[in-house]
Structure 1
Amino acid sequence: MSGFGYRITDGKVERVAVKAALSCTADFVWVHLTSNEAEAQAWLRDQAGLDDYVVDALTASETRPRCEAFANGALLNLRGRSTEEVTSGDALASVRIWAIKGRVYSVTRRALIGIAEVEKEVEAGEIVDPGDFIAAVSTAITSDLDPHVADLGDELDDCEERLDANRVFDLRRTVTRVRVAAIGYRRFLSPQRAALEKLATLPGAWLAEDDRRHLAAAADRAARMAEELEAIRERASLMHEALTDLRSEQIDGRSLVISIIAMIFLPLTFITGVYGMNVADLPYAQKPWAFDAIMGLCAAIAVLVLGYFTRKHWFQK
């Protein structure tokens, strides 16, 4: 079973194995598991003594951000960026947390960048209770995700500046990627904001006032990112429509050129086809000036057709 534990006693921080984390009393204990195997479920149920409902919530295969008060603690599911590869439909990895007075249990399937940052804060002695821990996790997740949301907006700004019919395919790929990322992030950030706001208002002495303020600030930051992602999604949709229009105009322009060329050569093809027939008694076929006359006639027809199209403004974009 993979994972680690921390025990804090009288300000002293000690990193221990998972199985040894609960072996003695401590002011604050944090146990983190990175597995959803039956062994982890058995440890949470038998060794940690957690309720079956809590164990199922911590090890569920499908989760969404939520907060729920249960008994004397709180269940919290959050989403953050992972160092491991994720799918487009599940853009953020989950962390499931059960917090009671003096103890926190967390479970992840993939390594979260936010958890690594929180671990550094624990080792530095900056986290001494469950309220500090949850506030640190929510702050670390939103702080890590915020610049990446801003990068999506910057990429879209760059696409808008480079909007050109000759770059339609490259720009469309970028816009599609940005739009998919924005949809994937927003799918979790909106409920995550609601979960953090609910947690900040839950009754309980293990959440101090400064922890509640940090949670409210993280919820506000998540709300701002969700709004920005919605704006990015709408801008990406409009950008995609603009690129489609540019592509259509480009195709229409090329079709127009082809049509004009065909219109010019249509009468020329008819004349040359007639005089190319291997039959007798063609008018002026035996005259020495016939070839020059036919070529002159073809040139005159071409000039007349081009003049007509120019007068009708077919060449204007």
Structure 2
Amino acid sequence: MPRRPSLRSAIAGVVLSGSEVCVLLPAELAGQFRELVGRCREPESLLREFFLAVVESSFKSLTMIEEELDSIESLLARGHVVRQASIVRVVSNSRTLRRCLSELRYVINASLNRLGRHRISKVVEGLRDDVERLYTVLEHVRDRVALILPLIASYDAERLNRIVTKLTIVSVIFLPLTLIASIYGMNFRFMPGLNDPYAFYITMAVMAAISAALLTYFKVKKWF
């Protein structure tokens, strides 16, 4: 799954004074809004375009979060391993976007109170509805994350159980073989079959038969 960047938030401000509108932007965003300011001839247009740009950026951020969440769900559906860092990044981005939407909703409501029945108030009200829709979709994203987290933990536990089961099967198969090898490794002068020229081949055949029997038993039980 391709790594997607984490969201970064920036603080911007809007000052309404009489018929004037002042937009305060950090240095890293000034270049992006310079073209926007250049094509706005009226204060109302600047305010409208500013809110539209912020809402559009929020929609893009939410789309990025949903796409990453879809990728995680697709990997889980195919039984692939999903790193915890991926879901943590989704949670972090969702929290950042939620914080930005809270601030944006506050600014829009404050602007509506200041504008009153101004002609631009209808546009700002529409943007407020867009922000509320963003909030609703973001809540759905949080619900999806809440469902995915225990699912990832369950897959990790299941994968660990499969590994432990395989190691246990290998240990059980080698246990009787180790016992036979230990018995014939004792330093006794007299031992049955010690001088038999076929004793080695018989012992190896018995060990192979035990291994085959255990493997067949585990296969029938569908333990691996």
TM-score using structure 2 length: 0.84
Report SS of the residue matched to 1:94. Answer: coil
Q: By how many angstroms is 1:229 displaced?
A: 2.1
Match of 2:154 among 235, 238, 245: 245
CA contact (8 A) 1:194 1:219 kept: no
RCO comparison, higher one (Cα < 8 Å, 6+) = 2
Match of 1:276 among 162, 174, 185: 185
Question: Partner letter of residue 14 of structure 2?
Answer: I
Report SS of the residue matched to 1:98. Answer: strand
CA contact (8 A) 2:6 2:93 kept: no
Match of 1:229 among 116, 138, 146: 138
1:167 pairs with 2:81? yes
Instruction: State the partner residue of 1:311.
Output: 220
Post-superposition CA distance 1:101-126 (Å, at most 9, x none): 1333343334327x844x434433x4
Do the aligned partners of residues 243 and 179 (structure 1) sit closer, same or farther apart at CA in structure 2, a change above 3 Å counting? Answer: same
Q: By how many angstroms is 1:227 displaced?
A: 2.1
Instruction: State the partner residue of 1:123.
Output: 38
Report SS of the residue matched to 1:280. Answer: coil
Do the aligned partners of residues 107 and 122 (structure 1) sit closer, same or farther apart at CA in structure 2, a change above 3 Å counting? Answer: closer
Instruction: State the partner residue of 1:290.
Output: 199
Q: Aligned equivalents of 1:104 and 1:258: distance in 2? A: 70
Instruction: State the partner residue of 2:14.
Output: 97
Q: By how many angstroms is 1:87 displaced?
A: 8.5
More displaced 10-residue stretch of structure 1: 263-272 or 239-248? 239-248
Q: By how many angstroms is 1:288 displaced?
A: 1.9
Match of 1:183 among 91, 95, 103: 95
Q: By how many angstroms is 1:146 displaced?
A: 1.1
Report SS of the residue matched to 1:162. Answer: helix
Q: Aligned equivalents of 2:177 and 2:215: distance in 1? A: 13
Q: By how many angstroms is 1:165 displaced?
A: 4.0
Match of 1:108 among 16, 22, 25: 25
The structure with more strand, counted as a fraction of residues: 1
Do the aligned partners of residues 168 and 158 (structure 1) sit closer, same or farther apart at CA in structure 2, a change above 3 Å counting? Answer: closer
Q: Aligned equivalents of 1:121 and 1:295: distance in 2? A: 84
Instruction: State the partner residue of 2:58.
Output: 145
Q: Aligned equivalents of 1:121 and 1:300: distance in 2? A: 81
Could you list the runs of 5+ residues in structure 1 that have no partner in the other structure?
1-85
Do the aligned partners of residues 87 and 232 (structure 1) sit closer, same or farther apart at CA in structure 2, a change above 3 Å counting? Answer: closer
Report SS of the residue matched to 2:81. Answer: helix
Q: By how many angstroms is 1:161 displaced?
A: 2.0
